[in-house]
Amino acid sequence: MMHTTLAQLRALKLDGLAAGLEEQLAQPGMTAMSFEERLALLIDRETHHRSDRKQARLLKQAKLKYPQAAIEDIDTRPARGLDRRVVMSVALGDWVTTGQSILISGPTGAGKSWLACALAQYACRRGYSALYQRVPRLSEELRIRHGSGIFGRWLLQLAKTDVLVLDDWGMGDLDSTTRSDLLEIIDDRATIITSQLPIEHWHAWIGDATVADAILDRLMQRHHRFTLTGDSLRQIKQKTTEKEQKTDPS
């Protein structure tokens, strides 16, 4: 009978509950617990199972450049210009639900993309959807979507995304179509932007004064700004690796 029950639970896609029940059957001490207590544990197991499955799905759909980046691992050495308390305050706040922007600037290799992915990854862990896009590549993708007639459908799908990560903002020129598309894309959602270009130069980079005013007005209404400093983390990692190789007796 129990074998049939487990099969029925899995048929109903209650895999967490089924796994919890199997664990209870394997633990003799569970018989000392009341029916209500055992049921509460099973429901809790199913709830966590669904939450983990949803989180995995959101992270897969986000297509983050650094999917393993986590806010718990942020390097906040003084030379980087990051205050852990400020970063955690933003990450734990309501920036997603209120559609706020996070603007990350700094030199090449400073860790801008990693920080953006860490913030987006934590949003996914909280149950929000996210999508990572490199702006230089996005321009070409937008042209293809316009040419194939699917831009409108893609925009509707994007409207369901809670967090949009726009990496490498300010690299390359913008054509008029991409400028207009960006205005549509960043509307009504939380946005994370990384850029080597200082924020005060964004207006000139966008090009069209009217569109630039509209885009920057949207981004600057409620935003958090992080300016990373220090040496390239990639160069530091390379130097550390080379040093370890030199000192390795093997």
Instruction: Tell whether the model's pLDDT for residue 232 goes beyond 70.
Output: no
- Greater confidence, 159 or 233? 159
Nearest to 134 by CA among 186, 91, 195, 86: 195
Average pLDDT over residues 136-157: 88
At residue 249 the predicted structure's pLDDT band, cuts being 50, 70 and 90, is low
Cβ atoms < 10 Å from Cβ of 74 = 18
Torsion, CA 15, CA 17, CA 21, CA 22, rounded to 10 = 20
The three-state secondary structure class of 81 is: coil
In this prediction, residue 54 carries a pLDDT of 87
Both structure tokens of 76 = 């906040």
Strands 130-134 vs 223-227: parallel, antiparallel or unpaired:
unpaired
Average pLDDT over residues 47-57: 82
In this prediction, residue 21 carries a pLDDT of 83
Q: Which helix (H) or strand (E) holds 164?
A: strand 163-167
